[in-house]
Amino acid sequence: MNRKQTITLTVAASLLLAGGGWLLWPARPAVAAAQAESHPALTVSVLQPRQERWPQSISLNGALAAWQEASISAETGGLRIVALHADVGSQVKRGQLLAELFSAGVRADVSTAEAALAEARTTLTGARSDLARASAVKDSGALSAQKIEQYALAVQTAEAGVKSAAAKLDSARITLTQTQIRAVDDGVITKRSATLGTVVSSGSELFTLQRQGRLEWRAEVSAQQLPSLHAGQQALLTLSDGSQVQGRLRQLAPALDASTRTALAYVDLPSGSAARAGMYAGGRILLGESTALTVPASAVVVRDGHSYVFVANARSQVSQREVMVGRRQGQRVELSRGVKADERLVASGGGFLNDGDNVRIVAGKEGA
């Protein structure tokens, strides 16, 4: 073989190798992509959302207060407190003695009034006797008509004197009863201003009484929430210590507050609970039951303030989808928007997935 033939064969071999490489080059990325697609990002189990009947409620906040408070004050003044029979927290009954004022002077006034009434009655008796004797000799002419008229006027004056003395006695007796400060209703003493030895003035408050020991929750309700509420609905409060108290909606305020644009819902609370007046609590007004599409909380992933689930298709590929989370009950949450009841969702581990990932699906409880 001469030199020219050798060069020709070498060039041909080089072109053949170059052409074969060019034909094989596109296949290598395709193989790599196929291998990548076949490699799952995570092994997961899937589930379907479950239709359930869940209680529907409105979440509210508000202060706890006494149903009604009674102010127990001194009705007479200028007397000092000589005895106290109740303190803050005392459970009292209507008419129970709470405090006593110095009453010796008032008792003396009663005795004086009783004596004045007896004197007035004696005067009336004498005046009536004089009028009777004068009337008996009226026709004989022994007494003038003017004198007889004077006897009649004396009787009328004595009768008025009796009435005046009786009124003064009643007043003194009323003042005497006012020296004993009594409870105006059943309930519990929440405040005591009375101090032993203090000289009280008329109208000064001595005790504050929480009537009948009743408490109420004054929940703040917006104008949009008002149409869903009505008297008789049950309420569930959560106190600051985590305990829960059941109540019942008694009434709604007839108007909204002009500054807050909210109305008050008055919820009666049972006695004997851990609730105390002055607390601030959150709670729910129960509206009944409604259908909810629910999933375990582990199926929901929160990213950048939004909630997502991962939906698996027939090719074991997942897609990220934004959902709206509604009510929560135990370890389950309601999905009010974003998925359908027949779709398959990743049960857990969504935080390690991205949109479009391939997964390996293992047997799981559908609708768990």
Model pLDDT for residues 5-57, shown as the tens digit of each residue: 444 444 444 444 444 443 344 444 444 444 445 577 788 999 999 999 888 88
- Quick one: tokens of 164? 């005046």
| Non-local CB neighbours of 334 within 8 Å, separated by 6+ positions | 54, 292, 293, 294, 325, 326, 327, 328
52 sits in which H/E element: strand 50-66
- Whole-model pTM: value is 0.63
Q: How many CB atoms lie within 10 A of CB 191?
A: 14
- Asked whether 191 and 208 are in contact (CB, 8 A), the reply is yes
- Residue ranges, comma separated, of all CATH 2.40.50.100 domains in the chain are 68-96+184-213
> What's residue 78's pLDDT?
92
Q: What are phi and psi of 70, to 5 degrees?
A: -115, 130
The low-confidence residues of the chain, meaning pLDDT below 70, are: 1-38, 139, 141, 364-368
Return the CATH number of 38-54+291-362, one of 2.40.110.10, 3.40.50.10490, 2.30.110.10, 2.40.420.20: 2.40.420.20
Radius of gyration of the chain (CA): 47
Return the CATH number of 68-96+184-213, one of 2.40.10.350, 2.40.50.100, 3.90.1150.10, 3.30.1490.20: 2.40.50.100
Domain with residues 59-67+215-289, CATH architecture: Beta Barrel (2.40)
Strand 79-84: give its sheet, edge to edge.
Answer: 180-182, 97-101, 79-84, 199-200
Q: Would the CA dihedral through 228, 234, 240, 244 be positive or negative?
A: negative
Q: How many CB atoms lie within 10 A of CB 271?
A: 10
- Residue ranges, comma separated, of all CATH 2.40.420.20 domains in the chain are 38-54+291-362
> What's residue 75's pLDDT?
93
- Tell me the C-alpha distance between 242 and 115, whole Å: 67
CATH of domain 103-178: 1.10.287.470
> What's residue 310's pLDDT?
95
- Tell me the C-alpha distance between 350 and 314, whole Å: 18
> What's residue 33's pLDDT?
43
48-57 b/e with 16+ CB inside 10 Å = b? bbeeeebebb
